[in-house]
Structure 1
């Protein structure tokens, strides 16, 4: 009797489309689709998504995401086709090279931040330090 051999699944980094590496933040196609889906339910339709870093949490910083109706004067704007992402100059320092993905599992669903600037995270995973 022959036994079936299973090949382990190869896990790769999230794919980024239309985003140069010099941008402060990159969104995977999954994250872009989810943001657009949520934006479509807003009235009025927001101008874009704001991603930032704010003080707080056990480790000092945490991520913030919100919809914006207009761009701030000092914002960096990252475009993913018709989706605009606004990042203030201070947050851009902490987000440089960050990849935002949207993940759905049996246990939870949400946005996941892969940030090369992070030195440590707290036990609950909601805050970080640089």
Structure 2
């Protein structure tokens, strides 16, 4: 499975050279596959950070039909990714991959800013 990232194109928002989050080709392909099964097909994917979990923060992913007023929109191989300004600070240099193993399959977040995670791996602190 490839772990290379795809350089995003900034669609809206303040000028920036890089997105706060990068998606691997495997993650992009899986999101596109899931989106294609939705009716109606969503406009894009929202990636964010929300309060919660035993360590303080959790990653969130959801489909959206439009961006919010405070969002920046990035395009990865024609996949629009919406990131709100608050989440962008916590996602800086974060990479999202899609991994399939014998035990499980899912999206994996690699974030260098994370100081600790909980035992179950679903929440983190910075």
* TM-score in terms of structure 2 length: 0.90
Structure 2, gaps ≥5 residues long: 10-16
- Per-residue CA deviation, residues 71-126 of structure 1 (Å, 9 max, x unaligned), is 11110111112100000000000001100000000000000000111010001100
Aligned counterparts, 1:1-130, within 5 A: 14-19=3-8, 22-130=18-126
- Per-residue CA deviation, residues 60-80 of structure 1 (Å, 9 max, x unaligned), is 000000000001111011111
Alpha carbons 1:25, 1:78 under 8 Å: kept = no
2:75 and 2:6 mapped to 1: Cα distance? 11
**1:19: Cα distance to partner?**
3.4
Alpha carbons 2:3, 2:26 under 8 Å: kept = no
RMSD of aligned Cα (Å)? 1.4
- Which has the larger Rg? 1
1:116 and 1:78 mapped to 2: Cα distance? 21
Partner of 1:3: none
Alpha carbons 1:22, 1:97 under 8 Å: kept = no
2:125 and 2:88 mapped to 1: Cα distance? 15
**1:45: Cα distance to partner?**
0.8
Alpha carbons 2:43, 2:66 under 8 Å: kept = yes
2:6 and 2:87 mapped to 1: Cα distance? 22
Query: How many residue pairs are counted as aligned between the two chains?
Result: 118
70-79 vs 101-110, greater mean Cα deviation: 70-79
